[in-house]
Structure 1
Amino acid sequence: MALEARARYLPPVSIPVDHHYLPEFYLRRWTRAGKLYRYVRPIESARIHQKKVSPAAVGYESHLYSYTTGDSDHERTRLEHSYFQLIDDRAAKALVKLENMEPGSAIDHVGLVQFVISLLHRSPRRMDYLRKELTKRMLDVTGFDPSRTRDQNMIRDHVNDLLVDLISSDTVLPELVGMKVFRVPVHSMRRLVTSDIPIMLSQGTRNQGAFIMLPYAPDRLIIFAREENVALAFSTQEHDVLVNGLNDAIIRQAQQVIIAADDVERAFIEERFNPFTAPDGAGDDGLIRWIVP
């Protein structure tokens, strides 16, 4: 009886409704007194909209990764609370070690790589792109009807599974884990911004000049590269020039939102942020490939 009574009053399991494609631990690095600057352009002809918000109030969409099938809400939201939460927790711990110049473990390295890969694929626009591509491929399948709710749900659930495959790929993951990690402090009067697509990729990831870059704070950058001279090519640039180039790239590639630590870059963002058309040089996936300077 005592056990039954105790079970009756256990607190309910929290079901995540707001699925963050930009995790709060990452966005907190752009805060001052708990707030950051969020920039969006709601319609094509409008000026950008600037607002100071908390990290919890930006970079999310309700039920972005929810499955349409499952025995419970907890089961249907497993991608958010189990899969992405684990990736984000590992990356948060690895970044702290990187900041403190502490040696990281193999788990830390894999955690950072998976986090970076996840940022390429988990945004709403990227998810929508994957759903549209899968729908196109299914049009020749007998019995498939893209206007039918059942088939729309099937597409949604398959793309959720595909997301896991892309981020945990047995082909891509080992390839990127083989890269070295370089922490680059940026000493400039200007600050780095970030966005819903904050990753910069080289042309290909298998050649010796391959790299992946991610701003992880307004004055810090991570570079994954096979060769140290690739990281040096960026870190030895004049830092005002480096920030200008990185911010230009991040803003032009952004599809929904820009994040900044202050409002200094507002005019720069206004001039470049156009989420309604693909940037020059972007592939079918909307991503730009970059070269070593």
Structure 2
Amino acid sequence: MSIPLKHHFVPSFFLERWAAHDGNLIQFSRPFGPELKSKPVHPNATAFELRLYSIGGLPDDLAQEVETEFFSLVDYQAAEALQRLEKGETLEGKPRSAWAKFLFTLMTRMPSDIRQYKLISDQLAERILPKFRIFYDEYMQASETRDFDELVNQVAANFTNRSILKMRSIMNNRHHIDAISAFEWKVIDTSSARHELLTSDRPIIHTNVFGHAHSHIVLPIGPNKVFLAAKDKIS
């Protein structure tokens, strides 16, 4: 089986909901400045970056583990949960948790988020690793052929490469997932509205704090439907 190198930060199953009868959706972008361009694309051909969630320094089968073992399962379970939500079912247990986890990943899996994780890792490495020089000078083994700077560069690269694993642990945070699960949920039909809903490369709107009385999440799940979750009762 081929190893997926196209890592979707907005998954195809979700984008398909905006596809026309020919299977394509319209992508709007500004590739060359302020002018807005539009073109039809397949849902699988947008909202991705090559090797976005790859772990550097490993063979491809291991490097893509976050995509193949984590996001693939998150998105698969979310697709099933969304079908049930649309039917008006009240999700409980694992399906509810699966949809809550998907919502949380949408807040933290975008390319800018990944770059931020890596930047923080780089900054930590730059701040911490030089402090180990005194231990290197005192305890260096005679068999060690690398000088201190070489070792620091190798460890720093590992910091950055492994930051994606830290991201996965953040997205698995039960405190946040359970908080979203505890919200009141509702799917609203907007087909009578004047305009249809769009999605984007950051499709979810949310408050920064989940424990506040006015905490909420808003996610268009199609041109004519929007998912709402709120700490307070949704009227």
1:202 is aligned to 207
Shift in Å at residue 149 of structure 1?
6.8
Long gaps (5+) in structure 1? 1-12, 233-293
Structure 1 counterpart of 2:141: none
How far is 1:185 from its partner? 1.1
- Return closer, same or farther for 1:88/1:207 CA change in 2, 3 Å cut-off: same
Question: Partner letter of residue 50 of structure 1?
Answer: S
Alpha carbons of 1:137 and 1:156: their partners in 2 closer, same or farther (altered >3 Å)? closer
Preserved CA contact (<8 Å) 2:205 2:217: yes
Q: CA deviation at 1:139?
A: 1.8
Structure 1 segments of 4+ aligned residues over 6 angstroms from their partners: none
| TM value normalised by structure 1 | 0.68
The SS at the match of 1:121 is: coil
Give the equivalent residue in structure 1 for 2:167: 163
Figure out how many residues of one structure are paired with residues of the other and give that number: 214
Distance, in Å, in 1 between the alignment partners of 2:30 and 2:120 is 26
- Where 1:192 maps in the other structure, the secondary structure is coil
Question: What SS does structure 2 have at the residue aligned with 1:75?
Answer: helix
Q: 1:125 is paired with a residue of what secondary structure? A: helix
Match of 1:179 in 2: 183
Question: Which moved further from structure 2: 179-188 or 77-86?
Answer: 179-188
How far the C-alpha of 1:105 sits from its partner, in A, is 3.2
Q: Could you tell me how far apart the structure 2 residues matched to 1:129 and 1:103 are?
A: 36
Q: Distance in 2 between matches of 1:131 and 1:182?
A: 36
- Between the two proteins, what is the percent identity of the paired residues? 23
> Match of 2:112?
125
Provide the C-alpha distance between the structure 2 equivalents of 1:117 and 1:64, rounded to a whole number of angstroms: 18
Is the Cα contact below 8 Å between 2:56 and 2:162 reproduced in 1? no
TM-score, normalised by the number of residues in structure 2: 0.84
Unpaired runs of 5+ in structure 2?
A: 132-148
1:144-174 deviations in Å (ceiling 9; x for gaps): 98xx874564243332112112211133222
Residue in structure 1 matched with residue 146 of structure 2 by the alignment: none
Establish whether residue 213 from structure 1 lines up as the match of residue 202 from structure 2.
no
SS in structure 2 at match of 1:213: strand
* Contact 2:66–2:165 (CA under 8 A) maintained in structure 1: no
Cα distance change on mapping 1:227 and 1:214 into 2, 3 Å: same
Bigger Cα Rg: 2
